[in-house]
Amino acid sequence: MAGQITARALSIVVIVAVVLAAALVLAILAEAVFHRGAPPTYRLNATASCLRAEGYRVSRDGRRYFTVEQKDYGRLDVYFAPNAAVARRHAAADNSYTEPRNRNVVIEWEGGPFPQFLAACLRSR
């Protein structure tokens, strides 16, 4: 008997291999479901178009900036960074206040949370 593989031992090895393969497949599926990667960045032109359609005055101030005028906030300069990491650095770089930020968009304003009227118009396409 020593050195021979019995049918029971072989079936145990097969069952263990199947269970490990199933666990690997489930782990890969769980990773795909729970980690979808970074969300898409917001686009300046699409966001500005939405704000204009809502009646806000929007003027382009450069490749990554525009200004929007709103009665409660006055004039807001809005910066569209290439990605969220750049936006995070930009929001904290100017002074001791962290400027309001939403993904890759930074408001050049040190007065509280991200404005709702602007958040409602942020578009990634």
pLDDT in tens, 64-123: 889 998 887 788 889 999 998 888 888 887 665 567 888 999 887 776 788 889 999 999
- Predicted confidence band of residue 32 (pLDDT cuts 50, 70, 90): low
Q: Is 75:69 a contact under the CB 8 Å cutoff? A: yes
pLDDT in tens, 33-75: 676 667 788 999 999 999 999 999 999 888 888 999 888 778 8
Please check whether residue 94 lies inside any domain of the structure: yes
Domain that holds residue 66: 44-119
**Same-domain check for residues 52 and 107:** yes
DSSP code string of 47-103: HHHHHHHTT-EEEE-SSSEEEEEETTTEEEEEEE-SSHHHHHHHHHHSSSSPPPEET
Please check whether residue 8 lies inside any domain of the structure: yes
pLDDT of residue 15: 94
Q: Is 87:103 a contact under the CB 8 Å cutoff? A: yes
Element (H, E) at 116: helix 116-119
**Same-domain check for residues 26 and 51:** no
- What distance in Å separates the CA atoms of residue 125 and residue 123, rounded to the nearest whole number? 6
> Which pTM does this prediction carry?
0.65
pLDDT of residue 94: 64
The number of distinct structural domains making up the chain is 2
> Quick one: tokens of 61?
């101030």
pLDDT of residue 92: 80
Please check whether residue 124 lies inside any domain of the structure: no
